[in-house]
Amino acid sequence: MFVHTVFFWLKHPENQDDHKALRAGLETLKDVKDISAAYIGTPADTRRPVIDHSYDFSLTFVFNDKAAHDAYQVHPIHEAFVHNCSHLWERVQVYDAVS
C-alpha cells in the first residue's frame, strides 16, 4: 500500500472563491482510476499542541503500490489540476508512506 497525503495553504485563505476553486480542483483528482481510496478535507476543530491546523485543505490518496502512485503523478487529470489550481496556493507539503 502507498499512502499519499498532501496539505495545501491558500495564498488568500480569506477568499471563499479560492476555497471553492481549490476544492473543485481537488475533487477532479478522484477520477484517476489508480486511486484505491480518496479523502479530501479541511482542518478538524481539534486543538492540542501536537496538531497543526494551519493548512486550508488536505488530501489523502491510497494506491495499491508505488507504480500506481507514479502513474497518478503523470496522469492528465493530475497535470490539469496542477496547471489550473497552482496559482491558488502558496505552499504544498507532501507526506508519502508505504506499508
Mean pLDDT, range 79-92, rounded to an integer: 98
The model carries a pTM of 0.94
- Which class does domain 8-42+53-89 fall in? alpha beta
pLDDT tens digits for range 12-61: 999 999 999 999 999 999 999 999 999 999 999 999 999 999 999 999 99
Length of the chain: 99
Domain extents in the chain: 8-42+53-89
Nearest to residue 37, comparing CAs of 56, 64, 7, 57? Answer: 64
| pLDDT at residue 38 in the model | 98
Residues 6+ apart with CB under 8 A from 91: 8, 9
Torsion, CA 54, CA 71, CA 82, CA 21, rounded to 10: -70
Q: Assign residue 78 a region: left if phi > 0, alpha if psi is -120 to 50, beta otherwise?
A: alpha
Average pLDDT, integer, range 66-78: 98
The grid coordinates of residue 19 equal 476555497
